Amino acid sequence: MAGDASATPPTAEMASANLTSPPERRRREFISSIIGRGTAADDLVGRRVRVGGWVKTGREQGKGAFAFLELNDGSCLANLQVIVDSSVYPLDQLVHTGTSVLVEGELKKPPEGVKQRVELRVDRVLEVGSADPSTYPLPKTRLTLEFLRDYVHLRPRTNTISAIARIRDELAYATHTFFRENGFRYVHTPIITTSDCEGAGEMFQVTTLFSDAEKLDKELQNNPPPSESEIEAAKLLVKEKGDDVAHLKSLKASEGEISASVLKLTKAKESLSKLEERFNLKPGIPQKDGKVDYSRDFFGRQAFLTVSGQLQVETHACALGNVYTFGPTFRAEHSHTSRHLAEFWMIEPEIAFGDLEDDMYYAEEYVKFLCRWLLEHCLEDMEFMVKNYDKSAIDRLKLVSSEPFKRISYTEAVELLCAVTDKKFENKVEWGVDLASEHERYLTEVIFKRPVIVYNYPKEIKAFYMRLNDDQKTVAAMDVLVPKVGELIGGSQREERYDALVERITDAGLPLEPYDWYLELRKFGTVKHSGFGLGFERMILFATGLDNIRDVIPFPRYPGRADL
């Protein structure tokens, strides 16, 4: 049975009732710290350690005299070889894939010819959590990534998904470190927003109207609203009480009598108004003038999940200087491709007093920093990716971290692509039309064979907040294109001139009022500023060489699917 942690009696220090720390309470050590690259084998041999993890593979040997377990604890890709004698624990309870164990023992030098630098000879099995091989969904055999998407709660136990999780963690920390080292402050932009960044994107709505309606329905069932005749009766009572007051006044009755009568009238009126209020309660979603009445929603207006924190983070760039946001963003697109998620993470720095060149500078430095970081901190996991998914993954990181990015204008890019004769593109290339993914990849993979920054795009194909160039035709936008994924970063210098911004918003057919606050940043102490956005999952696809974005986020959300 599962959960048989009591198979061995708990030792004194493991008993949760005993909450005073014993003098020699031993914590488990990470397998990464035992077999990580940094540790010399000679320092390890003879050390006593406690480790916990999950059995990747196990087998009984020597006619059941002992068992070899390949133990993984998620701290690194490599397993620790663990040897347990049958005198220590019933071996058949340990050897099945997926079984968890917490064990103690001494590190030994393995026999000559064995690839492991060190192995653990166990003398205490402290805890065991079984995994019935007949029902455990992740057997030893190789499983497809597609299959694993149905097991998001268990898939981090596989080599691929745990390697991605570590790469993801490293890229997140590298991000914070890069921006901190460059004087950027981290700002939490809102997740629930009443602004729409580009006046376009498909947004998720955030609401309590359904649950409020449900509550009201229940309430009305438990406590039905008054009938019309009850209302009529209450109205009649108000009239009577009013008449009483008038009558007493006409009789010049005593003040005491009159005020007692007025009190009764007031109560009757209150009672009527309460009844009328309940009488007017309508089940279902509140409506006004034939439309949903959002003034009754939680925030008193329509609210959405953010599609970008850029506009909001600009408020802090125009106060704190360089800032960045790193948070979840959302698109309610019914898109089933391997490149789109409904929920994904984005990094958006904003550079105060920065122009397009500063923007390109930081974008290049940031991507290079991430690539170097993975080479320095994640080589084992990257080697796994090279071996199993993408032979060129490490070479790509090296290329991007060392080669200066090529910078060309959009106009130059279009000219280059129009001159291409060795390839037929599916999409036409023509000045004024956005580059398609095939064009972007051709520029970076074939023409320049390194990352390319394309800048100064036609204003018609870019967002209203991008700064209009002096040619009046292009805006100071830039995209960073990299091999394997194409566009990795999109950014721009922002329009900091009040009048120019008003014109751009109006030209885009957007109303000005929702952007009042955004315009005020330009009205009061405006500064040049620029920024960009990097899709975090896209960066992981670029780094690992994986193809499907659903495999590089722990809990993928897409149309029809939001497990857990």
- Positions 278 through 307 that interact with its own copies (CB under 8 A): 285, 292, 298-301, 303, 305
Q: Is 27 in the site for its own copies (CB under 8 A)?
A: yes
Q: Which residue in 143, 145, 191, 216 binds its own copies (CB under 8 A)?
A: 191
Q: Which of 395, 393, 410, 396 is nearest to 460 (CA)?
A: 410
- Amino acid type, 117: R
Residue 176 vs 398, nearer CB to its own copies: 176
Measure the CA–CA gap between 100 and 71, rounded to whole angstroms: 9
Q: Is 205 in the site for its own copies (CB under 8 A)?
A: yes
Closest contact distance (angstroms) between CB of 177 and its own copies is 8
Contact set for its own copies, span 141-170 (CB under 8 A): 152-154, 156-157, 162, 165-166, 168-169
Q: Which residue in 35, 67, 272, 360 binds its own copies (CB under 8 A)?
A: 360
Q: Which residue in 2, 12, 40, 419 binds its own copies (CB under 8 A)?
A: 2
Q: Is 358 in the site for its own copies (CB under 8 A)?
A: yes
Tokens linked to 27: 């914590």
Residue count at the site for its own copies (CB under 8 A)? 137
Residue 561 DSSP label = B
Q: Is 38 in the site for its own copies (CB under 8 A)?
A: no
| Residues 466 and 508: beta-carbon distance below 8 Å | no
Q: How many CA within 13 A on the CB side of residue 273? A: 6
Closest contact distance (angstroms) between CB of 94 and its own copies is 11
Closest contact distance (angstroms) between CB of 286 and its own copies is 12
Q: Which residue in 88, 187, 238, 481 binds its own copies (CB under 8 A)?
A: 187
Contact set for its own copies, span 444-483 (CB under 8 A): 455-456, 467, 469-471, 476
> Which residue stretch of 115-123, 259-267, 494-502, 541-549 sits at the interface with its own copies (rule: CB under 8 A)?
494-502
Q: Which residue in 207, 388, 437, 548 binds its own copies (CB under 8 A)?
A: 207
CA 552 from centroid of its chain's CA atoms: 11
Residue span 72-101 as binding mask against its own copies, x where in contact by CB under 8 A, dash where not: -xxx----------------------xxx-
| Residues 238 and 269: beta-carbon distance below 8 Å | yes
| Residues 152 and 563: beta-carbon distance below 8 Å | yes
Residue 46 vs 554, nearer CB to its own copies: 554
Contact set for its own copies, span 310-329 (CB under 8 A): 311-312, 315-316, 318-321, 327-328
- Element housing 122 (H / E): strand 119-129
CA 414 from centroid of its chain's CA atoms: 35
Dump strand ranges (E) for 307-413: 323-330, 343-352, 406-409
Residue 50 vs 269, nearer CB to its own copies: 50
Largest CA distance in the chain: 119
Contact set for its own copies, span 223-282 (CB under 8 A): none
Q: Is 220 in the site for its own copies (CB under 8 A)?
A: no
| Residues 193 and 330: beta-carbon distance below 8 Å | no
Closest contact distance (angstroms) between CB of 343 and its own copies is 5
Residue span 361-380 as binding mask against its own copies, x where in contact by CB under 8 A, dash where not: x-------------------
Q: How many CA within 13 A on the CB side of residue 227? A: 3
CA torsion sign for 378, 380, 382, 384 is negative
Q: Does residue 91 sit in helix, strand or coil?
A: helix
Measure the CA–CA gap between 6 and 434, rounded to whole angstroms: 64
Cα Rg of the chain, angstroms = 33
Q: Is 356 in the site for its own copies (CB under 8 A)?
A: yes
CB atoms within 10 A of CB 460: 13
Q: Is 188 in the site for its own copies (CB under 8 A)?
A: yes
Contact set for its own copies, span 381-440 (CB under 8 A): 407, 409
Q: Is 489 in the site for its own copies (CB under 8 A)?
A: no
Residue 238 vs 553, nearer CB to its own copies: 553
| Residues 58 and 68: beta-carbon distance below 8 Å | yes
